[in-house]
């Protein structure tokens, strides 16, 4: 599909948005989706503004270059590869405002962890980000520890931590961080937060999205009591 779309570039000169792998779990589990190198699309469509990809297996961005118009990059995976993420860091994306990573599970190829976000959070490799989605993570509390100390947080308008393992312990660190109060929207839906903690978040003066909170699996070992929403 990617190669065919790239070949059709002269027929689609005004293409602005692409969603590769728009397949629901009723049709195919996300871990079964086979992706490929997305570089040909970015090279073929220099006016592209939104690229959304579902499925992390085989997903690469192997030909780093400059793309002047890409505003949003969304990777929905059940297991996000560290190699894929570092390939993205090699691209020069001056217009990028919206970055969304779904980390998923190490059982399905996910080996990108919180320490692999240093180029985004601390080195500001994409300095114009206004929306950061660190979603579907098994290590959301650990992400918070890095996030609250980052140079990027004060620049953000939207922070999306949904679908992951955020607990009251992690959210309490957010509450204690002055920079969090500059956000316009905080999305912590489908996490593991208590009603009391959500009530505290609502006092921050921003829009809080906290739908669908889940309960820990008390019968499991501690490390298995919370899990990301999307994996297989």
Q: What is the pLDDT of residues 89-107, one digit of tens each?
A: 999 999 999 999 999 999 9
- Distance, CA of 1 to CA of 140 (rounded, Å): 34
Helices 140-147 + 168-175 axis angle, to 10: 10
Planar angle of CA 173, 116, 68, nearest 5 degrees: 105
Give the position of tokens 């959304």.
Answer: 52
| Token duo for residue 87 | 């390939």
pLDDT at 225: 86
Q: Which CATH architecture has domain 2-161?
A: Alpha-Beta Horseshoe (3.80)
Beta bridge partners of 72: 50, 98
- Distance, CA of 71 to CA of 88 (rounded, Å): 14
pLDDT at 222: 67
Low-confidence ranges of the chain (pLDDT < 50): none
Extents of the domains making up the chain: 2-161
pTM confidence score: 0.95
- Distance, CA of 40 to CA of 8 (rounded, Å): 11
**Helical residues (DSSP H) of 30-177, grouped into ranges:** 39-44, 82-89, 118-121, 140-147, 168-175
Which pLDDT tens digit goes with each residue over 121-147? 999 999 999 999 999 999 999 999 999
pLDDT at 223: 65
Burial of residue 66 (number of CB atoms within 10 Å: 0-12, 13-18, 19+): exposed
């Amino acid at each position: 599909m990617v190669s065919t779309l790239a070949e059709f570039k002269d027929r689609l000169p005004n293409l602005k948005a692409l969603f590769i792998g728009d397949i629901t779990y009723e049709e195919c589990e996300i871990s079964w989706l086979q992706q490929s190198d997305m570089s040909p699309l970015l090279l073929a469509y220099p006016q592209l503004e939104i690229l959304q990809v579902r499925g992390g297996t085989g997903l690469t961005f192997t030909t780093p270059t400059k793309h002047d118009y890409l505003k949003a990059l969304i990777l929905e995976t059940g297991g996000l590869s560290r190699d894929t993420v570092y390939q993205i860091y090699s691209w020069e994306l001056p217009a990028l405002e919206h970055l969304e990573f779904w980390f998923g599970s190490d059982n399905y190829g996910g080996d990108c962890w919180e320490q692999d976000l240093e180029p985004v959070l601390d080195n500001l490799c994409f300095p114009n980000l206004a929306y950061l989605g660190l979603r579907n993570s098994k290590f959301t509390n650990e992400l918070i520890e890095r996030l609250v100390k980052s140079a990027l947080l004060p620049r953000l308008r939207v922070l999306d931590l949904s679908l992951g393992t955020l607990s009251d312990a992690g959210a309490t660190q957010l509450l204690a961080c002055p920079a969090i109060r500059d956000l316009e929207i905080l999305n912590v839906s489908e996490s593991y937060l208590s009603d009391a903690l959500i009530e505290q978040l609502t006092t921050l003066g921003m829009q809080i999205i906290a739908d669908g909170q889940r309960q820990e699996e008390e019968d499991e070992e501690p490390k298995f009591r919370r899990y990301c929403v999307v994996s297989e």
